[in-house]
Amino acid sequence: ATVYAPARDGEGTLFWMARPTAEPAPEPDADAYIEKQRSRDPDLWVVEIEDREGRHFLTEAVR
């Protein structure tokens, strides 16, 4: 699983970062990352996308 989190560069431009690592993580690791973030932000939104081709459909840059 790959989790993407929003971030901003030094100029304020929005991009997405793969978390917890740049490579797809085992599902339990991705779930643990999400739960850790949820403990910091109870209003966290999580959208799960299942795509056979592994597309994320994000329109901003992914780094």
Q: How many independent structural domains does the chain possess?
A: 1
Amino acid sitting at position 30 = A
pLDDT digits (tens, 9 = 90+) for 36-59: 999 999 999 999 999 999 899 999
**3-state secondary structure (DSSP) of residue 49:** coil
> Could you list the residue range(s) of the whole structural domain that residue 41 is in?
3-46
Question: Can you tell me which residue has the tokens 């959208």?
Answer: 47
Q: Is residue 16 part of a domain?
A: yes
Confidence of residue 20 (pLDDT cuts 50, 70, 90): confident
d(CA 46, CA 4): 10
Token pair for residue 63?
């780094």
Rg (CA), the chain: 12
Q: Is residue 56 part of a domain?
A: no
The closest of 40, 5, 44, 34 to 22, measured between CA atoms, is 5
pTM of the model: 0.84
